[in-house]
Chains A and B, each alone.
Chain A
Amino acid sequence: QVQLQESGPGLVKPSETLSLTCTVSGGSISSYYWSWIRQPPGKGLEWIGYIYYSGSTNYNPSLKSRVTISVDTSKNQFSLKLSSVTAADTAVYYCAREPIAAAGTPLYYFDYWGQGTLVTVSS
């Protein structure tokens, strides 16, 4: 059974960089797309971006200037960095897996999710 676990600081100061890591267990990080998705308290879901195990990325245009997603296949982990954070970035951050078809094409939905980690931006 594939499991995803987010880790990182729960409190970040305004203007600093939010850094989170997602550790994948029970399966390989290879051959899948891996996303970060966030949910402000009491609100809906916002996709942040994805990385393919090979390192190619795609980011939400609304966050693109501040986001970097990277992968470490040797550790079965991928990471999120979000710079210049403000209170508006306070949210539960989820990592999630996007499966692929046999031909290697993405399937455009998320079948496994981490439990989520709350990150609060406050001084």
Chain B
Amino acid sequence: EIVLTQSPGTLSLSPGERATLSCRASQSVSSSYLAWYQQKPGQAPRLLIYGASSRATGIPDRFSGSGSGTDFTLTISRLEPEDFAVYYCQQYGSSLFTFGGGTKVEIK
């Protein structure tokens, strides 16, 4: 099973700042199989990024994904008030989907 480790656990930033979230895999992941989600309290996760770097429909261009192999990054260029939430990375490998533990982006 591929384990995804997200860091930091919590990111305290102010609106307008840049957020950089990390997702590290225990073994190499195909970029095609790496996705990012945003989850707000009481809501289902929302797809942000798929294929490591492709934005899902309707996702603002302040969200971007990058990386390959075992290291992937989600960047939010300028935080808007609605971006404060928990973010999860997800991969598919060895016939199994796994998720990272999440990074909470909170208002400083």
Contact = CB atoms under 8 A, between A and B. Distances in A.
Interface of A: 35, 44-47, 58, 60-61, 94, 107-111, 113-116
Contacts of A46: 99
Interface SS majority for chain A: loop
A114 to B, nearest CB: 7
Contacts of A109: 33, 35, 47, 50-51, 90, 92
Given A109-B35, A109-B50, A45 B88 contact: yes
Interface string B72-107: 000000000000000010101001111111100000
B11 interface: no
Interface residues of B, number: 24
A115 B40 CA distance: 12
Nearest to B1: A61
A43 B100 CA distance: 11
A78 to B, nearest CB: 16
A55 to B, nearest CB: 17
Contacts, number: 50
Contact of B33 (A44, A61, A108): A108
A114 B1 CA distance: 26
B44 A44 contact: no
Contact of B92 (A94, A108, A115): A108
B35 A113 contact: no
Nearest to A111: B47
B88 A94 contact: no
Contacts of B88: 44-45
B97 A47 contact: yes
Contacts of A35: 97
Given A44-B101, A60-B96, A108-B33, A115 B50 contact: no
A115 B91 CA distance: 22
B50 A45 contact: no
B44 A114 contact: yes
A119 B21 CA distance: 31
Contacts of B98: 47
